[in-house]
Amino acid sequence: MAFKIISFGTRDNEVAHFDALNKEGFEMTYKSENLTHDNIDLVKGFDGVLLRANNVADKQNLDQMAEWGIKYVFTRTVGYNHIDLDAAKANGQIVAYVPAYSPYAVADLAFGLGIMQNRNLSGAVASSEKSDFRPNPASFVPEFQSLTVGILGTGKIGLAEAKLWKGVGAKVLGYDPYPKDGIEDILTYASMEDLLKESDIVSLHVPYFKGSNDKFFAADQLKMMKSSAVLVNTARAEITDEDAIIAAVKAGDIKGFATDVISNESAYFGQVEPAAVKDASSTMAQFQALYPKVVVTPHIGSYTENALHDMISISYQNFANALKGDFENNFLVKPEA
Active site residue 17: no
Q: How far is CA 289 from the centre of its chain?
A: 22
Query: Phi and psi dihedrals of 259, rounded to 5?
Result: -140, 145
User: Measured on CA atoms in the order 148, 306, 96, 109, is the torsion positive or negative?
Assistant: positive
Give how far the C-alpha of residue 110 lies from the chain's centroid of Cα atoms, to the nearest Å: 10
- Of 82, 198, 236, 242, the active-site residue reads 236
307 neighbors 14 (Cβ within 8 angstroms):
no
Q: How many Å is the Cα radius of gyration of the chain?
A: 21
For residue 169, the 8-state DSSP code is T
Tell the burial category of 228 from Cβ atoms under 10 Å away from its Cβ (0-12, 13-18, 19+): middle
Q: Are 303 and 105 in contact (CB under 8 A)?
A: yes
Q: Looking at 14, 161, 242, 265, which residue is catalytic?
A: 265
Whether 265 is a known active-site residue: answer yes
- Please state at what angle helix 156-167 crosses helix 103-118, rounded to 10 degrees: 50
Which of 52, 299, 305, 309 is catalytic? The answer is 299
Give one word for 153, left, alpha or beta, with left for phi > 0 and alpha for psi -120 to 50. Answer: left
Backbone torsion region of residue 299, taken as left when φ is above 0, otherwise alpha when ψ lies between -120 and 50, otherwise beta? left
To the query of whether residue 236 is one of the catalytic residues in this protein, the response is yes
The DSSP bridge partners found for residue 96 are: 331
Beta bridge partners of 48: 5, 72
**Whether the Cβ atoms of residue 311 and residue 101 lie closer than 8 Å to each other:** yes
Structure letter (DSSP) for residue 235: S
Catalytic residue numbers read 236, 265, 299
